[in-house]
Amino acid sequence: MMAPAAAELGVGLRVLVEDPESSAAQVVTDAPVGVASDDAAIRSLIAPGDGRAPAAVLTFEHEHVPNALLQDLIDHGTPVRPGPDALVQAQDKIVMRRRLAELGLPCPRWAALPTDPAAARDALAAFLADEAGHEAVVKTSRGGYDGKGVRVVSSPDDVADWLEAAADGAPALLVERKVPFVRELAALVARRPSGEVRTWPVVESVQRDGVCAEVVAPAPDLDPAVEAEARRIAVAVAEGLDVTGVLAVELFETREADGTAAVWVNELAMRPHNSGHWTIDGAVTSQFEQHLRAVLDLPLGDTAARAPWTVMANVLGSSLGSLTDALPELLARFPEARVNLYGKGIRPGRKLGHVNVSGTDLGEVRRRAVAAAALLRGEATESTESTESTESQEHA
């Protein structure tokens, strides 16, 4: 998704891909194959040694990169953005919670669990005893994504397998208060090495089974004070952790009995993020273009929304042989839809693409984005939505 933005700005992208069939390799012509944990692969990505100029900057689309190597690259003159000191906060949820607490940012009550299983059981039991409902959320500190390292527990027995694994060298565990949130929000910010920061409108992210299903931009009925607080937190994280490039801050919104709302930091992603895919079509500057601008230390673009509402619907798994089979019907029924397919192999629940729809009527925009994504999943949807709204706009 960064390739079109790079082409427009005349930025050459050289991408290290794990598989020549991968999404990035389908659209970036300069895509050597290798793994991100391989020192030699990363070194030759930066300096191919075939007469071509070395890369001006190294950046990432995921957080699983070796920090010692990154520090060595920096020591030898290659800018790495974001830098390893920032990146570790997005790689390790224990490191992140500690640092956010130091910065005074609002986090749910949490504790790191000891490595020893018996001690971990005691610590977890004590944590649960202090929680209303005696429930909490246990997470693996590293390597989790799409809810795979997250479990709601009411007893240490519920994570007996994880406690044993952690003692055997698997990533350490932490426990958090189960936040009684009314919804999940995300705040997206970009920051340049020279200090300029820009935030996008704060969005609502709708999660199903730990996976983002939809994003509504901006978050409907968001109290302006909460929106300002969410943006303030995003900037404070970016500045406090010296993040360069795009940073997504996942947030929980809670509401007290008296109606006052508050936000709490869930986790961080230091890269363009699913909660920002709406910006590709719905904002003046997309998160992908902004990430390139930021890591190249170029002036940042306008983050304003292009329409009152944009809804992004993820395509999670599909029963079709190929997603493109759905295009004739989808494009005919939803001419305003912006379809983005990732060229990935189909697997149950996998993020295979997304659809953005923008407009003035939130209910209609959301219904149409979700229905278009459902067609790509191979679900038959009622054709009641027709193209009425588009026609009436054309007549207007």
Residues 308-347 that bind ligand ADP (CB under 6 A): none
Nearest approach in angstroms of CB 294 to ligand ADP is 23
**Which one of ligand ADP, Mg ion, none is in contact with 176 (Cβ closer than 5 to 8 A by kind)?**
ligand ADP
Tokens 């427009």 belong to: 8
- For residue 56, give Cα distances in angstroms to 13, 67, 81, 164, 173: 10, 19, 11, 44, 37
Q: Which of 39, 47, 130, 145 binds ligand ADP (CB under 6 A)?
A: 145
Nearest approach in angstroms of CB 266 to ligand ADP is 5
- For residue 263, give Cα distances in angstroms to 95, 132, 222: 20, 19, 11
Binding part of the chain for Mg ion, among 197-205, 238-246, 249-257, 371-379 by CB under 5 A, reads 249-257
Nearer to ligand ADP, 62 or 76 (CB): 62
Binding site, annotated residues for ATP: 93, 139, 176-179, 184, 266-267
Q: Which of 315, 281, 285, 308 is nearest to 298 (CA)?
A: 285
Q: Counting contacts by CB under 6 A, is residue 135 touching ligand ADP? A: no
Q: Counting contacts by CB under 6 A, is residue 287 touching ligand ADP? A: no
Residues 168-227 that bind ligand ADP (CB under 6 A): 176-179, 184, 207, 210
Nearest approach in angstroms of CB 129 to ligand ADP is 17
**Which one of Mg ion, ligand ADP, none is in contact with 147 (Cβ closer than 5 to 8 A by kind)?**
ligand ADP
Nearer to Mg ion, 162 or 334 (CB): 162
Q: Is 319 in contact with 377 (CB distance < 8 Å)?
A: yes
Kindly state the tokens that stand for 50: 């075939």
Q: Which of 41, 65, 150, 346 binds ligand ADP (CB under 6 A)?
A: 150
Binding site, annotated residues: 93, 139, 176-179, 184, 266-267
Nearest approach in angstroms of CB 140 to ligand ADP is 9
Q: By the criterion CB under 6 A, which residues form the site for ligand ADP?
A: 108, 137, 139, 144-150, 176-179, 184, 207, 210, 250, 266-267
